[in-house]
Amino acid sequence: MGIDGFLKQVLEIKSLEVSKAKSNIPLNTIRREAENTKPAASFLTALQKSSPDDIGIIAEVKKASPSKGDIRPDLDPVLYAQTYTMAGARAISVLTESQYFKGSLKDLEAVCANTELPVLRKDFTIGSYQIYEAKKAGASSILLITTILSKDQLTDYIHLARELGMEPLVEITSEKEFEIAYDCDAKVVDMNNRNLQTLETDLNVSKRIAAIIPEDIIPVEASGISCFADIDNGLSSNIFNFLVGESIVKAKDPELLIKELRNIK
Ligand SMILES: O=C(O)c1ccccc1NCC(=O)[C@H](O)[C@H](O)COP(=O)(O)O
């Protein structure tokens, strides 16, 4: 499937944003700063702990989205991160894309500075510059989307992230993309239930892909999860880590919802 519609637009905007960022802080400078940033909590170790008795929730700081528009545009990322930490989330995901998700690198830096949990930079990564930015901000992981990268890019970015001490989360939307991610040396894959072209979610996507995931890979189910029944459905496919955004951010009591998703009575 080619890249068009929403993805095409977001990648054009991203490319301009990265060029602008490079003209403020050159690549060599940000690389040196990233290399001098102290190690953050391990994303891989955190996710490896998860099991049916200790469900891993990666709780997302999500102000808005292309599919839903504004969700909570004024949310305080640090307050939410503190709530997620208290609720026993396994990790925190912070959207840094500004145009459609109203996120920023500032949100990422603020969250990283205020939690002991591993933090994922969720964005449309198109080059090494953004990987250095994430490390400099204190992140433990970055999102790499198989659909938008060549095999060479995916391999290079996975290894660069690892060299910087971050285990990347590699997003896939089909069995074919899983084979690509596996060949490129991914260890943690995010099976996205949301179709990036139509923006529709279907929880069967993860169930289907999970059937071919070998034991040496950690699968994460992402998108469209709103209650324990959705989690239970994933558990039956040997998925123990779940990335949840909108339903937590919109919940009256995000701490309670995270505990419900973790099946904590
Ligand atoms: O959320 C969207 O509408 C979206 C559209 C296109 C690309 C990515 C998108 N979201 C980023 C995410 O990966 C989700 O925020 C994450 O999986 C959580 O999903 P949800 O629990 O459904 O908010």
Question: Mind listing the pLDDT tens digit for each residue in 73-85?
Answer: 999 999 999 999 9
pLDDT score recorded for residue 2:
54
pLDDT, mean of residues 131-151: 98
Contact partners, residue 132, CB within 8 Å, separation at least 6: 27, 30, 31, 33, 34, 164
**Using an 8 Å Cβ cutoff, are 190 and 171 in contact?**
yes
pLDDT, mean of residues 36-65: 98
Query: Which two three-digit tokens encode residue 177?
Result: 């993309």
Burial degree of 50 (CB within 10 A; 0-12, 13-18, 19+): buried
**Using an 8 Å Cβ cutoff, are 212 and 237 in contact?**
no
The total number of structural domains in the chain stands at 1
pLDDT, mean of residues 97-115: 97
The DSSP 8-state label assigned to residue 39 in this structure reads P
97 lines ligand 1 (CB under 6 A): no
* Paired strand residues for 220: 190, 241
**Using an 8 Å Cβ cutoff, are 201 and 230 in contact?**
no
Give the pLDDT band of residue 28 (cuts 50, 70, 90): very high
Give the pLDDT band of residue 197 (cuts 50, 70, 90): confident
Pocket test for ligand 1, best of 8, 62, 65 (most atoms within 8 A of CB): 65
pLDDT per residue over 221-247, tens digit each? 999 999 999 999 999 999 999 999 999
Atom of ligand 1 minimally distant from the CA of 244: 21
pLDDT, mean of residues 5-30: 95
Atom of ligand 1 minimally distant from the CA of 66: 3
67 lines ligand 1 (CB under 6 A): yes
Pocket test for ligand 1, best of 70, 148, 197, 223 (most atoms within 8 A of CB): 223
Q: Percent of the chain having pLDDT more than 90?
A: 94
126 lines ligand 1 (CB under 6 A): no
Q: Please state, in angstroms and rounded to a whole number, the distance separating the CA atoms of residues 190 and 80.
A: 22
Q: Please state, in angstroms and rounded to a whole number, the distance separating the CA atoms of residues 45 and 242.
A: 15
pLDDT score recorded for residue 265:
77
Q: Nearest CA to 122 among 168, 82, 182?
A: 168
pLDDT, mean of residues 149-176: 98
For residue 188, is pLDDT > 70?
yes
pLDDT, mean of residues 97-118: 97
Q: What value does the CA radius of gyration of the chain take, rounded to a whole number of Å?
A: 17
Give the pLDDT band of residue 5 (cuts 50, 70, 90): confident
Place of tokens 């060029």: 19
Q: Please state, in angstroms and rounded to a whole number, the distance separating the CA atoms of residues 108 and 99.
A: 16
For residue 1, is pLDDT > 50?
no
pLDDT, mean of residues 124-148: 98
* ipTM of the complex, rounded to two decimals: 0.98
The DSSP 8-state label assigned to residue 168 in this structure reads P
The parent domain of residue 165 ranges over 5-261
CATH number where 227 lies: 3.20.20.70
**Using an 8 Å Cβ cutoff, are 206 and 193 in contact?**
yes
